Amino acid sequence: MAFLYSYGFVVGILGLSTFLEKLNILKDEGARKFIHIAVAHWFILAMFTFENAFLVTIVPFTFIILNYLSYRFNLLSAMERDMHTKDDMGTVYYALSLTIITFFAFYFDYQLEGLFAILAMGYGDGFGAVIGKRFGRLKIYRNKSYIGSLAMLIFTLIIGIILFTTQWHLIIVIAFAATALEMFTLKGYDNLSVPLMIFLLAVVML
């Protein structure tokens, strides 16, 4: 049942994103980031339905393979950039970081720290990209904007403080570190570097 819930949850998100895209409610990057943000909530579902670290890791590992096939053959247009313009495997790295964090979070009982890392990747990077693309005329570095990086910082702070209320001063350090890393990481690779760093810092500091 846990597997059915998990795969059903993700398939439902992909279906909803495709449906909203066909209705022109979501377009291009908006559809991708909708999936990016929504899928992050799977970790919450996993916390309530799985107990075994090896079994729960099968779910995100499956999507490493599926996301690569989608990237390679453009199977899900809502999830991939246009085949002529995309130059990264961000969706594959997303699934890879989710796989790594899920295993260690469940195996060593760092589920709250794992949730922090995954939601920060979902909301922080997701809304940072959307807001930055819409309002980010003033750039900091490469194509990164001040407003996009600020959104990344704010969402990471909010998520961290909600999960670790009494350790807000450490959350500030982690949020600034994550925002700086996201700013200087090459496009796509931030889906791997940022959540892994947040998870590592959360385990060590919190």
User: Into how many domains does the chain fold?
Assistant: 1
How confident is the prediction for the chain on average, in pLDDT? 88
Per-residue pLDDT at 8? 96
Task: Print the domain residue range for 9.
Answer: 2-205
Q: Tokens representing 147?
A: 């407003």
Contact call for residues 195 and 182 (beta carbons, < 8 A): no
Give Cβ neighbours of residue 146 (< 8 Å, ≥ 6 apart).
136, 138, 139, 140
Helix axes 42-49, 111-119, angle to 10 degrees: 160
pTM > 0.85: yes
Cβ neighbours, 10 Å, residue 48? 8
Q: Quote the CA–CA distance of 133 and 145 in Å, as a whole number.
A: 8
Report d(CA 191, CA 181) in Å as an integer: 11
Mention every residue, 6+ apart, whose C-beta is less than 8 A from residue 192: 93, 94, 96, 97
| Beta bridge partners of residue 145, listed in sequence order | 139
How far is C-alpha 156 from the chain's CA centre?
12
Long-range contacts of 165-172 (CB under 8 A, 24+ apart): 167/205, 167/206, 170/205, 170/206, 171/206
Residues with Cβ < 8 Å from 185, sequence gap 6 or more?
193, 194
pLDDT in tens, the chain (206 residues): 999 999 999 999 989 988 888 888 877 777 888 898 999 999 999 999 999 999 999 999 999 999 888 888 776 655 554 433 455 688 899 999 999 999 999 999 999 999 999 999 999 888 888 887 777 677 776 677 788 889 999 999 999 999 999 999 999 999 999 999 988 887 778 899 999 999 999 999 98
